Structure 1
Amino acid sequence: MLFQVEPALEGVADRLDLLSHRLRGLASQAHPHLSFTVGSMTALALRDNELGGILAHYSTHHTSPEQLPLLYGEFHRTLAPGGLLPAGHAEDDEYLRLRPTQAYGGHPVSYESHLLPAERIAEPLSRAGLVITTRLVQEPDEGARRTVATFLARKPERPSRHSGCHVPEPGGVFMSNRPTGQRTWRRRSTP
């Protein structure tokens, strides 16, 4: 469980820190055989090549686009060779910066969310040295507002001589349209 406090949130940092530690306590009670840590995703207190996987599903969209290379670089550093990174991110056709003031139920909130085109999410993943093996673009269900881009990336078994360079992804995007509630996947060519 990782939480990152952006400088723009300094006014609520104490409350977020308290919430993070409470969540850590609840997780530890529910799963005493596992270890939970609160920290920054851009500076993980872990050794190089320590993790077999990192789940970053809807956990990076609060990170500004300028910070994504640092974030994905840290994920690359801590993943063991062959380690996997499933990452889901709400996307938009163009960069969209949201600053909601109310959460579900009308509760007041103060945070930023950065919605990016799938390409702008894929680029820093590849530049960090992670290989994108799968990209799913799921169109919104009825009543939903956002398209979701999900990536499965892995750290290569051996360092690539192209590390730090853009690695082209496989030729295709899988999309889901679910107007009937059933998932149907189709392959779409990429330019």
Structure 2
Amino acid sequence: MTEPPSYLTATAEAYDDVAVLYAEFTQGALDRLPLDRAMFAPFAELVRAAGAGLVAELGCGPGYVTAHLRDLGLDAFGVDLSPVMIGLAREAYPGLRFEVGSMDALDLADGELGGIVSWYSIIHTPPQELPPYFAEFRRVLAPDGHILLGFFESEGDPVVVFDHKVTPAYRWPIDDLAELARKAGFVEVGRMLREPLEDERFRRGHLLMRRQ
């Protein structure tokens, strides 16, 4: 069996170590973020209009976004690198499906998904490693399937690494990330930039895209 890249191992171990605290910190996180939360409604509507199907939250952490997608009427499940996070998600949402796995090698058939949400989960991927992730997203999405990305925006700067509280992460210019997705076979549907709240450091970026 091929060993996973070192950054994946480091990310999984880092989130294992802080999983309980992270789950407590993110409890009710969407309640105070109306603009972020608003991105999920059109995503859900577009997935349903295209024929629905399974929706995967990739990098689901403790599962609160997966649960929100379920509440929007989607057949959602979660995948995460961290076994401890998956255990917490299963405990918190026993009616939902959660699996340990990596976004770059999903145990899914071609075209199996109607939608993908990657909510601040590609942020730990080194920029040079990200194109294979988009290729894998495209592989598992059905034609006209949709993907929703949440990430930290670099506010006009190039891609920059920063000291994320769990493990090093990257901030992306929204245009550069959209172009990377376009090269992988996605069409942009919409985008949103949100300025940081008082207790946040960086601008937040959101991209909604469709598989060509």
Tell me the matched-pair count. Answer: 144
Q: CA deviation at 1:47?
A: 0.6
Partner residue, 2:144: 82
Change (3 A) 1:98 1:14: closer
Partner residue, 1:27: 89
Partner residue, 2:177: 121
Greater percentage in helix: 2
Kindly indicate whether residue 83 of structure 2 is the aligned counterpart of residue 41 of structure 1.
Answer: no
Q: CA deviation at 1:140?
A: 2.4
SS class of match (2:124): coil
| CA deviation vs aligned residue, 1:41-77 (integer Å, no higher than 9, x gap) | 1111111101111111111111111112111111111
The structure having more radius of gyration, on CA atoms, is 1
8 Å Cα contact 2:119/2:148 also seen in 1: yes
Partner amino acid for 1:57?
W
Instruction: Give 5+ residue unaligned stretches, structure 1.
Output: 104-108, 157-191
Partner residue, 2:75: none
| CA deviation vs aligned residue, 1:103-134 (integer Å, no higher than 9, x gap) | 3xxxxx4x221112112211111111111110
Change (3 A) 1:51 1:37: same
For normalisation by structure 2, the TM-score amounts to 0.59
Instruction: Give 5+ residue unaligned stretches, structure 2.
Output: 20-81
Matches within 5 A, 1:164-183: none
Q: CA deviation at 1:28?
A: 2.5
d(CA) in 1 for partners of 2:10, 2:189: 40
**CA RMSD of the aligned region, Å?**
2.5
Identity %: 38
d(CA) in 2 for partners of 1:62, 1:11: 10
Partner residue, 1:174: none
Matches within 5 A, 1:25-174: 25-92=87-154, 93-94=156-157, 95-100=159-164, 103=165, 109=166, 111-156=167-212
d(CA) in 2 for partners of 1:14, 1:120: 29
SS class of match (1:37): strand
Change (3 A) 1:49 1:10: closer
